[in-house]
């Protein structure tokens, strides 16, 4: 795979119009075994990844972006080159903008940061004959990342449903307590009225009044008790719905996690196959590993450890071949 431009500047423009990820991977491939020798310098490789992530964060187009306007490019410099003075930063921005289009691509920033020859970069070999294999691995990694993202969504939904169920349970408990309090108060009041109505130490008027009030209470619950019953019944219905939704959300989360684990396993297997057969594009493969590592944080701990071990083994093999 080569850039189609007829001049180095045209190739630079073409590269700078690729997505942030494509530019970063191009740089990784170009300097995997020479220059910065990223194949043997994990810290520098991680630095390229961090610049990519920051560009994605700054650009409203996210991963679909390819360059930064002057304001956001300034913010990029502030983040990674905080020691520069404002004046030096302005001068740096002018130096970075190799094609003078008023914007800073990830390629231009990496050239500036690592002091490499951009003409060598735009002509650097990439995956070559292995591009199809790398593309196949990339598809699997993208599928694993998407599955991990979906698992995260389902986990958040499950947590929200569980929280809602917990809240509904608390409301139901409070409503039940209020109902019990109203029933206890009514019972106590009835007992008192009955005692008054049967106590001949009181006059006939007071006894009859107590009996009449007791009869009214026996005929119909007082308003506070009726309201407490209605509230308690409504809370019980809400609790049942909430528990049902929480159960469904938990099941969906479990299914999403299972799908994510399967997608990761599939991606790892394809990656291992591609790594064993590829002779070029090692930066591309490092990038795919890094994407999996980032997405792995959403997997169960045991699964993370298993995958991390396999990635570390394949990484050691690639480093042995670099430089």
| Residue 33, domain CATH | 1.10.238
Percent of the chain with pLDDT over 70: 92
**Is residue 150 within 8 Å of 256, Cβ to Cβ?**
yes
Q: What Å distances lie between residue 321 and 24, 48, 172, 280, CA to CA?
A: 21, 20, 65, 11
Q: Is the pLDDT of residue 17 over 90?
A: yes
| φ, ψ of residue 177 in degrees (nearest 5) | -65, -40
Q: What Å distances lie between residue 89 and 16, 68, 86, 95, 112, CA to CA?
A: 21, 15, 5, 10, 12
Q: How far apart are CA 187 and CA 179, in angstroms?
A: 12
* Apex 22 CA angle, 19 and 25, nearest 5: 150
pTM higher than the cut 0.85: no
Q: How far apart are CA 79 and CA 46, in angstroms?
A: 15
Q: How far apart are CA 179 and CA 153, in angstroms?
A: 38
User: In this structure, are 52 and 144 located in the same domain?
Assistant: no
In a domain, 73, yes or no: yes
Q: How far apart are CA 38 and CA 167, in angstroms?
A: 52
Q: How far apart are CA 291 and CA 268, in angstroms?
A: 12
Over residues 6-31, the mean pLDDT reads 94
Over residues 46-74, the mean pLDDT reads 95
Over residues 75-104, the mean pLDDT reads 78
User: In this structure, are 33 and 172 located in the same domain?
Assistant: no
User: In this structure, are 304 and 214 located in the same domain?
Assistant: yes
At 85 the pLDDT is 67
Tell the residue number behind the tokens 């609790």, with chain if given.
Answer: 239
Q: Note down the domain range covering 218.
A: 134-321
């Amino acid at each position: 795979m080569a850039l189609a431009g007829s001049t180095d500047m045209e190739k630079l423009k073409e590269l700078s119009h690729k997505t942030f990820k494509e530019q970063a991977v191009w740089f990784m491939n170009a300097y995997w075994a020479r220059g910065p020798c990223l194949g043997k310098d994990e810290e520098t490789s991680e630095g390229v990844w961090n610049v990519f992530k920051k560009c994605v964060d700054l650009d409203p187009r996210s991963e679909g972006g390819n360059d930064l306007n002057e304001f956001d490019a300034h913010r990029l410099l502030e983040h990674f080159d905080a020691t520069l003075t404002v004046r030096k930063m302005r001068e740096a921005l002018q130096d970075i903008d190799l094609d003078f289009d008023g914007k800073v691509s990830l390629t231009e920033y990496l050239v500036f940061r690592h002091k490499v020859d951009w003409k060598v970069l735009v002509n650097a070999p990439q995956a070559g004959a292995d591009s199809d294999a790398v593309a196949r691995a990339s598809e699997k990694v993208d599928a694993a990342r998407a599955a991990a993202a979906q698992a995260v969504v389902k986990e958040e939904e499950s947590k929200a449903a569980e929280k809602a169920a917990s809240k509904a349970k608390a409301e139901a408990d409070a409503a039940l307590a209020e109902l019990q309090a109203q029933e206890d108060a009514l019972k106590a009041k009835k007992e008192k009225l009955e005692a008054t109505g049967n106590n001949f130490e009181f006059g006939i008027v007071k006894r009859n009044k107590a009996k009449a009030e007791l009869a009214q209470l026996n005929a119909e619950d007082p308003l506070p008790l009726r309201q407490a019953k209605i509230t308690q019944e409504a809370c019980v219905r809400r609790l049942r719905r909430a528990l049902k939704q929480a159960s469904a959300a938990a099941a969906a989360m479990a299914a999403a996690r299972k799908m994510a684990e399967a997608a990761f396993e599939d991606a790892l297997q394809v990656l291992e196959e591609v790594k064993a057969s590829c002779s070029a594009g090692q930066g591309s493969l490092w990038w795919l590993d890094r994407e999996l590592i980032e997405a792995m944080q959403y997997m169960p701990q045991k699964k993370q450890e298993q995958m991390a071990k396999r990635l570390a083994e394949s990484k050691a093999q690639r480093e042995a071949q670099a430089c």
